[in-house]
Structure 1
Amino acid sequence: MAIQKGDFIKLNYTGRFEDGRIFDTTNEELAKQEEIYNPRGLYGGDVVIVGAGHTIEGLDEDLEGKEAGYSGTVSIPPEKAFGPSNPKLIETISITKLQDRNVHPGMPVEVDGKRGVVSRVIGRRVTVDFNSPLAGKTVTYEYTIEKLLEEVVEKIQGLLALYTGMRDMEVEIADGVAKIYIPTGLTFNQRWLMAKNRVASELFKYAELKEVQLIEKLTAEAEAEVPVPAEPEAEANAEAEEEPSETQE
């Protein structure tokens, strides 16, 4: 069956720059080899809803019409990847604003709470690019659609993993009502507090639920530390809306 908007799929991918450098992958071993491994990341594949903005526009569009098991490669221009470079975010400042004054092009710096990269040094003046390192780049994604999800519980667990970095959270379904048992530690996580309404909204729209109950689960045993959800690199388009996990940037 052809993949269409609104489908829940499990997706494995690797994102590369034009020079072949990898900036994002769902393959844990590859991430370690390329020295981009995030210990808080969730590897092994992301569950995304096609057309819901869970990944960059160009990849999202390429998924439509494919079938489960498909593997392929797509080249994506900046406009449908992580956006063009904004010249207003390139600033020339005095070197005195930097803690380390032994600067050179390519050096990451932080100025007034903003992170950027030095692009030029002339005398005591430094040009810093505060754009995302992915902005203005044409990227290539190699991806495999591992599975088309059919079961509602599986869809919910996959979506929760995307937003929280936690797999196989306890879920019960009855008469269009989903009961999701939330570990205590997660209830204090700022990212989850901002994302939970979007999770519920997407479940109403794409999983045809009529009610979502988020239930804080307490146990006698001490709970394991809840991981802080990582920012998926491939989800930069939705970050402004407090987005989920390639993709994870």
Structure 2
Amino acid sequence: MSNIIGPNSTVLFHFTIKLEDGSVADSTQVHGKPARLQMGDGSLTDNFEACLLGLASGAKKVFELTPDDAFGPINPDNIHHMERSRFGADLELEEGAILSFTQPNGAEIPGIIRGVAGDSVTVDFNHPLAGQNVTFEVEILAVDDENGA
């Protein structure tokens, strides 16, 4: 058991994600429920994990990430133009609205309405923070080293 984050650690931490304009995009502190991360499990980019390596319980750190190191660049293949008829007739489609779509395998995926023009609806299936530089503020609450040693 170590309190220093290593490549196989499980980390309990609070985070806040801020956009370039300083607005908060997400924060675990809003609900008072910290996040748990298993280092090396692929849920975060290598650069994000590299920013956490060596931090100890109680540490606070602020770091900036580019799109490639955070939520990825915008992928034009994830932007689709759909017929308005595919949506319920009584559904109000507003730009910026997030809707849930069912994939062929039954999984749900969120899509952001980017535009409505006549009978065409533009839906963006990229992560909402794709293509953006972001600032992460982290506070490490606990670290468990699971090297199996």
TM-score between the two structures when normalised by the length of structure 2: 0.73
1:216 matched residue in structure 2: none
Where do 5+ consecutive residues of structure 1 fail to align? 33-42, 150-154, 156-202, 209-249
Q: What are the equivalent positions in structure 2 for 1:1-249 lying under 5 Å apart?
A: 3-27=5-29, 30-31=30-31, 43=33, 45-99=34-88, 100=90, 102-110=92-100, 113=103, 115-149=110-144, 206-208=147-149
Q: Does the CA contact (< 8 Å) of 1:73 and 1:143 recur in 2? A: yes
Secondary structure (helix, strand or coil) at the match of 2:94 reads coil
CA 1:46–1:112 in structure 2 vs 1: closer, same or farther (change >3 Å)? closer
- Measured after TM superposition, the shift of residue 105 of structure 1 is 1.4
The answer to which structure, 1 or 2, has the higher relative contact order (CA under 8 A, 6+ apart) is: 2
Over the aligned positions, Cα root-mean-square deviation in angstroms equals: 2.9
TM-score calculated relative to the size of structure 1: 0.47
Structure 2 gaps, min length 5: 104-108
Any conservation in 1 of the 2:4–2:143 contact (CA below 8 Å)? no
Q: Which protein has the bigger helix share?
A: 1
Matched-pair identity in %: 28
> 1:73 deviation in Å?
0.6
Q: Secondary structure at the residue paired with 1:137?
A: coil
Q: Give the superposition deviation at 1:96.
A: 1.4
Q: Contact (CA 8 Å) 1:95, 1:101: kept in 2 or not?
A: no
Aligned length: 141
**Which has the larger strand fraction?**
2
**1:107: how far off?**
2.2
